[in-house]
Chain A
């Protein structure tokens, strides 16, 4: 589903991502962990086509991000760590905007909005302007928007920040269900317990370089993910 080959991205003289190679298959929940400023967000933004990268290649579902960025974007959904949405729209206007961009017909969007908004308990608030939403509500709206067009790959940057325990549990369930149906998820997190329980595979990044990647068992062995991470960081 997602092939990252020798990805390198620099900001001025700083190498934010350095020769990163990762492969994510359909059905996998792939966790991406690392210290602050390790290059997680930069990697996710490069995959989402927000940032241009210097060298390397990213292929999503057979399409190159460099050669066919729009084809790639049709297949993905991206949720940033701080979802700054359109404050001048209401929740429902934003969801309809996303649905229009992806060409979702009226019946399908109605059904999906009703389903996901009910799941995240956001239905009543959809008529409110986004400017009046809390961080958590914006996060939920961004999740609904992500699931709305049935993407093949979902990229999430710290998705659990700002969510209440119920929404957090729901998100985990939805992530599992999405991947069980053949989708793939690549997400960054600092919550190692969640990563340990939820992820099929995990990658650890340090100063832009991949230090360890593989299935959860391969990476952590008999230890906890936290101790492996702390050892690698030291």
Chain B
């Protein structure tokens, strides 16, 4: 089977869905990304990405948890699917594998 490609932003969103396990919906994901990466993203971009991830089969969703500040509207909660989980793990392993082979001198500057 052809491997489904996961873009960089998609990866971030997918990780955030996992981070906010059982509490991952649009606004929460946007906030988490802001906190974790300092990136300010519009809510529509988050929705678009989640939508795409769902199409690719990396996340599942269900409705629930209406609150007053949403005018009684329900949230769509996202959870990472096994496929999503595998994809994330695979990326992580690939990266580490590469990291381990890089000579220390090649990357001697880092963020403090």
Do A and B come together as binding partners? no
Binding site for A on B (CB under 8 A): none
